[in-house]
Amino acid sequence: MSDDLIEKVKLMIIDSLRIEGMSPDEIETDAPLFGDGLGLDSIDALQLVVAMEKEFGVVVPDAATGSIVFASVRSMAGYIGEHRT
């Protein structure tokens, strides 16, 4: 997986969740997105599902898959890399 894709995922997170004043460098690639990490919630997860489908053509089919995909930026980028159309 490329650093370019990781950067695009970070930008997608910032843009789709409208996080003002944050740069991609401030999001740790391997940190959890929910809870103690970036602090996202279930509404944010839904917004990220929509953003991933729109920007990368990637579908997250169910909550079980989502919990794996949205573990970190790296896991999101890996899933996008494998399932991108």
The pLDDT tens digits for 23-32 are 999 999 999 9
Residue 50: CATH number of its domain: 1.10.1200.10
> Percentage of residues in the chain with pLDDT exceeding 90?
81
Residue 61 counted as domain residue: yes
Q: Is the pTM of this model over 0.85?
A: yes
CB 58 within 8 A of CB 84: yes
Residue 24 counted as domain residue: no
Spatial separation of the C-alpha atoms in residues 84 and 78, rounded to whole Å: 10
Residue 11 lies in domain: 3-19+29-83
Say what the alpha-carbon torsion angle 82, 23, 15, 38 is, to the nearest 10 degrees.
70
Spatial separation of the C-alpha atoms in residues 37 and 11, rounded to whole Å: 17
CB 31 within 8 A of CB 39: no
Question: Number of structural domains, the chain?
Answer: 1
